[in-house]
Chain A
Amino acid sequence: MIPIKYILFLVSGVSSFIIFYMGLVNYITAIDGVTGIILLIFATAVSAGTLLSTTYISKSITKPIEKLAENMTEFSKTNKIINKKPINTNIKEIYELNTNFESMGKKVEETISMQNEYVEKLKHIDKKKVEFSSMVSHELKTPLVPILGYVQMLQKQELMGPLNNQQLDAINEIYSSALKLQKLVGDILTTQKLDLGKLVFNNENIQISEFLDLIIKDFTPITHLKKIQLVKEYDANDMLFSDRDRINQVFSNLIKNSIDFVVPETGQIIIGAKLDNQSMQFFVKDNGVGISMDNQKEIFKKFYQIDTSTSRKRDGSGLGLAICKGIIEGLGGKIWVESKENIGTTFYFTIPIHSMSK
């Protein structure tokens, strides 16, 4: 980049030198001495005048342009127009350039400060939302404590005395409804946190094989009862560095769904994992009723449930898969489904390998 004043000086220097040189040539070759001297004086005066006027032009044009350039550079760094150097000019174009720049700058400055204000407001709203949902969940959980407490005491008939069958049925119904309510409160809170990006993940080393065994063990009471097979398909020895409790929650939501959609006695659920270049890919596969193509697109949405006779008999709230998706994406992975109606369903999810430790 060449500063404008150098160009001006170069042009005026060369032209005044040419005029002066022509004057000198005229003087030497002049017919008589007087004409020669007059011509020389005239040429000298013109070239001196050129140099002087260049200096003036340089002052009145290049100085303000230079300052304007400096102001602009400063502005682009700080986004603030306040600290600008004052510019005095009589030249119309430069004056307009400068006033336009100043008014543009002021607008940018205002917009930025307005944006900052909005960001602050949004942050505040976010914070209030989290506070509100944690307060609601606290308030909803508190009355459940005595409800569940007394129901459990009544169920243990040796504590509060024997119940007849009808009373025991009633108590068991209250108990299972209260547990559902408890689960729902927890699920709503988790979805809210996921939406706001406020779910905290705690990573630790997970020995995959052992981890899958423990998951299966948690489900044995119910799989035995329903005579459903739940097995592991994994014989490697990988470790994964991730959030054990949250991945467990994903598995448990998927397995609970599968249990509901396979047929007792013939139902089979396989859980497993395999290393797939940049990630550990887990799956939960069942031979249940399957999910139609159209519904496959919808099931990860909050509160979405497929309206069939089987699902009407269940008592989910449609949050399970939305929570799975939120957790897996929060851990940097992906979740998807492959399914054929009347054949079965497989849910896959990945956890990126960069989060693995030796």
Chain B
Amino acid sequence: MPRMSGDPEQARRLRSVPPDAATPPNADELLPRVARGDEAAFAALYDAVAGRVLGLARRVVRDPAQAEEVTQEVMVEVWRTAGRFDAGRGSASAWVLTMAHRRAVDRVRSEQAHTNRASRVSASETHVPYDEVVEDVTARLEREQVRRCLGRLTPVQREAVTLAYYGGHTYREVAEKLRTPLPTVKTRMRDGLIRMRDCLGIEMEGRA
């Protein structure tokens, strides 16, 4: 397990996280501890979510070095603002990934201001490659569920959702690409996500 130089107390706390725990502590348990300044919990949270943060950042910004920068920024921001996390409004991993997606998209859009958009557009047009397979069985099942649920959307819903999420496009850009009116794209995005939500069985407590 990598350790930080300097502070032996810190290193001790970092090592106190079991590196091969059978069930890694989940993000929802860790984040409140991170909010209290628990660095070991932060290291464990990093291990629990950074793979998805980095993967998402790579998918959206399409540049490995920049994706790493995004990941570092996001994780430090998670550390800094952990106290703002409100479990009543969603899961810890969704909170982190929302931050990551926003940050990645911001990066793409600011870059877009001075580079040619065309190459990125055509790159994302070649579609979302679903080919990275990871060994973890639970994670794989979850991903299969996501794919299965994505597969239940209409083609336009799916295109709209994936172009926006993986491609970092605004709904205006999506409308242009799909040659679909703006209000329709907005509706398709929402309808598609509602269908996915129901397929994944996601429900807030207290929803009527």
The answer to whether A and B assemble together is no
